[in-house]
Amino acid sequence: MTKLLVNIPSLNQIAADPSCMDDYDPNAMSVAQARQFIKQFLQPVTQTETVTVRDSLGRVLATNIISPCNVPAHNNSAMDGFAFRFEDAAKTLKLIGTAFAGGPFHGQVKVGECVKIMTGAVIPQGADSVEMQERVTLSGENITLNQAVKQGQHIRLAGEDLKIGQTVLAKGHIIKPADLGLSASLGIGEVQVFRPLKVAFFSTGDELVSVGKPLETGQIYDSNRYTLFGMLSRLGAQISDLGNVPDDPNLLEKTLLQAAQNNDVVITSGGVSVGEADYMKALLAKHGQVLFWKINMKPGRPLAYGKVGNSHYFGLPGNPVSAMVTFYQFVHEALLTLQGATPKPLPMFMVECTEPIKKATGRTEFQRGVLYMDDGIWKVKPLGNQGSGVLSSMSIANCFIVLDETIGNCEAGAMVNVQLLEGII
């Protein structure tokens, strides 16, 4: 794999002559190799735009966000209670005023004195500790503390969340709901993000019919454009749906060229397996530098990747589950990279699989599974029908059971790796 990364020939050279690379076999690519391979040709967008904090949700930060202030700005109370000097804790304390959140007490707490204080109120000068009101005995204008206290207790320190000058969010970060609040907590109303990616897609296949038209015998509704729409929307892409195109070389050529001219990325589904792939393959050879792979994975064996003009091209298999799995395993990460983000590997963890799984070694399988709680412990069950055309399995599943190339049949009770669908979908 490391070999793959040194002295990389251009996409053009590899597409024209795959044997120019050692260790490169388009008919036996591992998932990791294919992912690594794609990565080396991805150049992120550079154009940026300024958007309001709310509009930045899901976008990729184009600059570091530096804290212009301490958060919180002042030491403040974590409790409703009384603020006092620690060395006076054993004394009867005289109440001299009240500090509210947003309404500070302006005097000084002197020997033997205390101030009633609300959560979030600035700690008055002189005080260094707070006791909660439930642990205090009040008699008229005086209080006594009911139990021993620690110096500095129940005080949130200035800058304990964020310090002035600190990098709060780094360039390449994908903005999440917490980040919107974080920016607001710094008084930041606008942020600079990378421009969205323009992604066009179309389906190929004579049998495909768009929703809204009746089906004739042998025809099926085009579902891939809907799942692609959903997956791309979650990535915040600017989407162009170019419809479903019959297996007709002229129409395919016209649509492909139009897509590549106006977009950063073109995604097609169907027609990349051998045999019927001829039109797409010939077209992609004529207009671009595209590599056709057979990946050692199930579902989703055929995959094409390359460039058509300046546009990145991904050719996904037509089977609806294969299209989704290959999108998540290859395209998702690539789009994040092109978008200027630094994608992290998807979290994977091991749980007990409660049913046996039949599997051949030598390929990676992404079985659809349901994680469920059994007597307080999370376990996984593979779905019964793992067919690559059974899209309902993707709806019912909440995880992929990821079985790598080294794994063969699994007994019931075996520990297996799972990847949660929620969060990536």
In angstroms, give the least distance from the CB of 208 to ligand AMP: 5
- Closest by CA to 21, choosing from 43, 47, 40, is 40
Residues 89-110 as b/e (b if ≥16 CB within 10 A, e otherwise) read bebebbbbeebeeeebbeeebe
Residue choice 270, 300, 302, 317 for contact with Mg ion (CB under 5 A): 270
Query: In the range 253-282, which residues lie near ligand AMP by CB under 6 A?
Result: 269-271, 273, 276
| Residue partners of 106: CB distance under 8 A and separation at least 6 | none
Please choose which of Mg ion, ligand AMP, none residue 255 contacts, taking the beta carbon within 5 to 8 angstroms, the exact cut-off set by kind. Answer: none
Please choose which of ligand AMP, Mg ion, none residue 320 contacts, taking the beta carbon within 5 to 8 angstroms, the exact cut-off set by kind. Answer: ligand AMP
C-alpha span between 293 and 305 (Å, rounded): 8
Residue choice 205, 288, 317, 340 for contact with Mg ion (CB under 5 A): 205
The residues with which 144 forms a beta bridge, in sequence order, are 137
Residue choice 33, 76, 77, 203 for contact with ligand AMP (CB under 6 A): 203
Q: In the 8-state DSSP scheme, what is residue 60?
A: B
Query: In the range 303-362, which residues lie near ligand AMP by CB under 6 A?
Result: 317-320
- The amino acid that residue 265 corresponds to is V
User: Is 288 among the residues that bind Mg ion (CB under 5 A)?
Assistant: no
In angstroms, give the least distance from the CB of 387 to ligand AMP: 11
In angstroms, give the least distance from the CB of 229 to ligand AMP: 12
Indicate the length of the chain as a whole number. Answer: 425
Residue choice 236, 271, 300, 306 for contact with Mg ion (CB under 5 A): 271
Please choose which of ligand AMP, Mg ion, none residue 288 contacts, taking the beta carbon within 5 to 8 angstroms, the exact cut-off set by kind. Answer: none
The stretch near Mg ion (CB under 5 A) out of 7-15, 200-208, 360-368, 371-379 is 200-208
Contact letters for ligand AMP, residues 214-253 (x by CB under 6 A): ------x-xxx-----------------------------
Q: Strands, E, within 59-141: which ranges?
A: 65-66, 76-77, 81-84, 93-99, 113-117, 129-132, 136-139
Query: In the range 299-318, which residues lie near Mg ion by CB under 5 A?
Result: 318
In angstroms, give the least distance from the CB of 247 to ligand AMP: 8
Pick 218 or 376: Cβ nearer ligand AMP = 218
> Residue 6: helix, strand or coil by DSSP?
coil
**Cα R_g (the chain), whole angstroms:** 30
Pick 173 or 225: Cβ nearer Mg ion = 225
Q: 58 burial class (0-12, 13-18, 19+ CB within 10 angstroms)?
A: middle
Write out the two tokens for 69: 């202030």
Pick 205 or 382: Cβ nearer ligand AMP = 205
| Residue partners of 47: CB distance under 8 A and separation at least 6 | 194, 195
**Total binding residues for ligand AMP by CB under 6 A?**
17
Give the HSE-up count for residue 375: Cα atoms under 13 Å, Cβ half-sphere: 0
| Residue partners of 401: CB distance under 8 A and separation at least 6 | 353, 357, 365, 366, 367, 368, 369, 380, 382, 416, 417, 418
Measured from each CB, the residue nearest to ligand AMP is 318
The stretch near ligand AMP (CB under 6 A) out of 75-83, 190-198, 201-209, 257-265 is 201-209
Residues near Mg ion (CB under 5 A) are 205, 270-271, 318
Residues that bind ligand AMP (CB under 6 A): 203, 205, 207-208, 220, 222-224, 269-271, 273, 276, 317-320
